[in-house]
Chain A
């Protein structure tokens, strides 16, 4: 039968135990190629971020961060670079004194005698694995990177905290009370899901100017706090909390706010955790809105700062990549630990 070779057969075949067919091989090839496609650009940028400035633009590039080795040789003021020299089939390491055209003058670093003239095509530089930590330390100390980092952490933390409180309060009202306009308010909130920032960014900027929050971190925190996704997620979860619990607390003369704070909120913890993860990711990665609102450098968030950096040091990829990696690291850590929450949260709500 030619079924096994049909181009789409591998998509539906279920595995038969103990037999590996063409379908399995194609499936695995797709998945492994896909994984490589995801990983290679990221890992390549990561490896490159450890390369010294002189090495990063070498072409063809080396995979691992390496740098030329230099050595001080008695009789010479400046350190000399080490090269592997091929003389009459014999290989040895020598230091280069100077290079004139196609000839290089080399000395033995341990026993410097008069320099020997060697053809440049017979020499190659000695390189060792070197990690350029200055790519990471320089931006933290010399540039404004630390300010950007502080701003991003502040925005992410405060916005997430406010998002949880404001939306939990609204979700509580919409799930545990019967009141006039309940349905209309819920529909109104959910309908804002349909209005993307890109459509209202010009007038939203006007509002920010009007309330005096332009070029301020609060100008990017406050407009994002009320979240239709958040209200929806928390309300659906709170609906599952039995009303008897709340009635019992009312019999004990607890105030409504105390019921929210002491009973409903702790029971909503799993949904709050999902919303917190989303909120952290949204705020940390936010770009267009901060780009519009923030104008002075000391207020830039990490993403806006990174974008500004790449305009300024268009050649200094070693710094740009190191900073890119510092902003990617927290997201990667969050993902490694909370991957299950995130994927089930998205599959459950269909929202990102």
Chain B
């Protein structure tokens, strides 16, 4: 495994461009990057929304449908056995990727959103009582807010929020009172999707676990950038989306500690999640199958497994160095561009640079840079409370993946110049 544990990356600023990473080869693995958009080479800087897919993943999904496709866990015929082996093999790959203790601690879901809904519903049902509290943070994606609001509403519990400061970093001064005897779970993003902040999750997990509070980490934005080790972190749940880490859409994984998963009630009912069914009573399959009702996204899981293989084959010391370099360059160049104001200045950052322009609304910025072939995201990024906090209706967000380079930043900055030309 070439991704050993290093729960938190440090966004320092190297003076020199690092040598030694064969970026041209990596870029050649992603067929879509060779495209021209509006007559210009594609500069894809919307990776926090979804990443592009390497040929490895595309081929694995195609091969699965061409050679293996059958339903899993059911029939005795050869294809079904092959499909089951491919699906369960993908589970083992994800287990190793996150360094979970056992494959059964990995539940395949549609993505991070479904993973969080699963925990909010199931754990909420089992543990939340009137007056209890759920603790999240001020920079959560809507998918780590709304499921908890639903659970709190249903159970008469209260949602509490760890605040943040103007740099876009969590403020932990009042953590002692926020994490109290009524707290039933802490759910927090490893990396913020709208600010790029790498949160001190190891510290938060220690604080919560020392009070017996289970912790869910939303790892959607962390998995493509950081080496994640759920055992070293000590979290109880860790949620990831395949499509944000170079895998297909519609597949993701929830890591859950076996002990907790076993005690939790099912999320959805249906086939595959049962042991015996009579009209009087149903007994459930052991984990992970208890949480995987119905025919799963088998091809998606195979594609996610291939993405994990792809990532595991890369030299992560060099990837991290390269990503740090490009991100620091982006913060510096975008931050210095005329008429641009960065939103959030976190000391530890991964993958994201958010900004606004005085002259133009983020949406106009997005349209204008797209004409130069540069794809960025504009809007509230499913984090309306973050927009409210910074007092902006929307931001423009450039988000990076391992295949981006300094030249992509240059193209963005050049395109931002065009915005000024239109509006001044």
Instruction: Please indicate whether A and B come from the same complex rather than being unrelated chains.
Output: no
